[in-house]
Homo-oligomer: A and B are copies of this chain.
Amino acid sequence: MFKTALAGTAETVTAHLEKVLSGYEGELGAAMRYACGGGKRLRAFLVLESARLHGVAEAPALDAAAAIEALHAYSLVHDDMPCMDDDDLRRGLPTVHVKWDEAMAVLTGDALQSLAFELVAGLDLPAERRLALMQGLARAGGGQGMVLGQVQDIAAESASVPLTLDQITRLQALKTGALFDWSATAGAVMAGADPAPLSTYASAFGLAFQIADDILDVEGDEAATGKRVGKDEAAGKATFVSLMGLEPARSEAGRLVSLACDALAPYGEAAENLRQAARFVISRQS
């Protein structure tokens, strides 16, 4: 069962993150641990499955999984701030700037970004492979990846002309796709293998994930998702749902999931967990 496998991963990764974060003192340490709590750990799951497919040892796989979750947590803490998405609820709990304050939210995010790079720099792997992962993470997470996607997303909200489907697809590829790609290909990079099939999988999966997110914002339940819903529509924001309509968006997500699963053919049955992960995202309620 995929949900059991994902829950198992979440538990392992959360425990590992807590261990890693135990060396961080004071309120900053507390806020970093709080920000890294909970979550589906989908990116960590991709890292660990991708590592398993390539026979990578558990220690570096787990550190890389913790790194991507720390990076993801940093982006959420900053995104939730009043000057950005202004969310007061995340994973069913008050966001960092609500529980502490905005200064702590800025600094907690900053420290978690540093931590992500520190973890990857310290992986128990040949130096060249660590560096390939570092450069990939900096590119995917930085001003030519995720952060650029964020800037474009914010700009789109105040633009007089809504984004087209092409623009929103490119924006999503930057904002969430690049880190999905890093996660799913991490195992291949760690093993020095060809990352191409996993990269194709990740692109299709990432896009399906974002479409599903847009659908959840329309159809979702606040109690189940643990975050505010209906925000996109209230903000008059162009989404896959507003541009395609609900049913066509659902069917496009389905098509992308098939495409993602097909890309894993070279791995045969061994990649079944990754296929289930892709199918899961379009059926999830949270």
Q: Which of A7-15, A137-145, A235-243, A247-255 contacts B (4 or more CB under 8 A)?
A: A137-145
Do B118 and A142 touch (CB < 8 A)?
Answer: yes
Contact string, A109-131, partner B, CB cutoff 8 A, digits 1/0?
11111110110011000011011
Q: Quick one: closest B residue to A122, CB to CB?
A: B135
Partner of A142 from the list B103, B106, B115, B154 (CB cut-off 8 Å) is B115
Number of A interface residues, CB 8 Å? 50
Interface of A is mostly: helix
Q: Which of A21-29, A181-189, A220-228 contacts B (4 or more CB under 8 A)?
A: A21-29
Do B143 and A115 touch (CB < 8 A)?
Answer: yes
Least CB distance, A22 to chain B, in whole angstroms: 12
Instruction: State whether A155 and B114 are in contact (beta carbons under 8 Å apart), knowing that A78-B106, A128-B127 are contacts in the complex.
Output: no
Least CB distance, A136 to chain B, in whole angstroms: 9
Which residues of A, 41-88, contact B by the 8 Å Cβ criterion? 74, 78, 81, 83-84
Per the bound structure, the CA–CA distance linking A27 and B107 in Å amounts to: 23
In the A-B complex, list the 9 residue pairs whose CB atoms are closest, starting with the nearest.
A114-B142, A111-B143, A127-B127, A118-B138, A83-B102, A121-B134, A111-B147, A28-B151, A83-B103
Q: What 16 new A-B contacts, CB under 8 Å, besides A24-B148, A78-B107, A114-B147?
A: A24-B143, A25-B144, A32-B143, A81-B102, A110-B147, A111-B142, A111-B143, A111-B148, A112-B143, A114-B141, A114-B143, A115-B138, A115-B142, A115-B143, A118-B135, A118-B138
